[in-house]
Structure 1
Amino acid sequence: MAKEQVKVKWLENMAFSAEVSGHEIILDASDKVGGENRGPRPKPLMLTALAGCTGMDVVSILKKMRVEVDGFNVYVDGELTEEHPKQFSQMHVTYEFKGKNLPVEKLQKAVNLSEERYCGVSAMYRKAIGLTSEIKIIEE
Structure 2
Amino acid sequence: MKASVKWVSDELFLGTSESGHSIVLDANNGELAPSPMENVLISLGGCSSVDVVSILKKSRQKIAGCHVDITGTRVDSIPKLFSDIHLHFVVTGRDISEKQVERAVNLSADKYCSVALMLNKSVNITHDFEIIDQD
Whether TM exceeds 0.5 here: the answer is yes
Aligned-residue offset at 1:137: 1.4
Aligned-residue offset at 1:139: 2.6
* Equivalent position of 1:131 in the other structure: 125
* Equivalent position of 2:9 in the other structure: 12
* Equivalent position of 1:63 in the other structure: 57
TM-score, normalised relative to structure 2: 0.91
Q: Are the aligned partners of 2:73 and 2:85 in contact in 1 as well (CA < 8 Å)? A: yes
Higher share of residues assigned strand? 2
Output one character per residue of 1:78-124: Cα deviation in whole Å (capped at 9) or x when no partner: 00111111111000011111123211111111111111111111111
Distance 2:49 2:9 in 1: 34
Q: Which amino acid aligns with 2:53?
A: V
- Asked if 1:97 corresponds to 2:95, the answer is no
CA 1:68/1:100 → structure 2, altered by over 3 Å: closer, same or farther? closer
Distance 2:52 2:4 in 1: 29
Superposed counterparts of 1:31-42, under 5 Å: 37-42=31-36
Aligned-residue offset at 1:5: 1.7
Q: Which amino acid aligns with 1:54?
A: S
Distance 1:115 1:6 in 2: 25
Superposed counterparts of 1:117-128, under 5 Å: 117-128=111-122
Q: Which amino acid aligns with 1:28?
A: D
Return 5+ residue gaps in structure 2 as ranges: none
* Equivalent position of 1:79 in the other structure: 73
Distance 2:89 2:70 in 1: 9
Output one character per residue of 1:12-45: Cα deviation in whole Å (capped at 9) or x when no partner: 1111111023111111133xx7x8x331110010
Q: Which amino acid aligns with 1:16?
A: F
* Equivalent position of 1:108 in the other structure: 102
Identical aligned pairs, as a percentage? 37
Q: Are the aligned partners of 2:52 and 2:108 in contact in 1 as well (CA < 8 Å)? A: yes
Of 21, 24, 44, the residue aligned with 1:23 is: 21
Q: Are the aligned partners of 2:51 and 2:113 in contact in 1 as well (CA < 8 Å)? A: yes
Moved over 2 A (4+): none
RMSD: 1.5
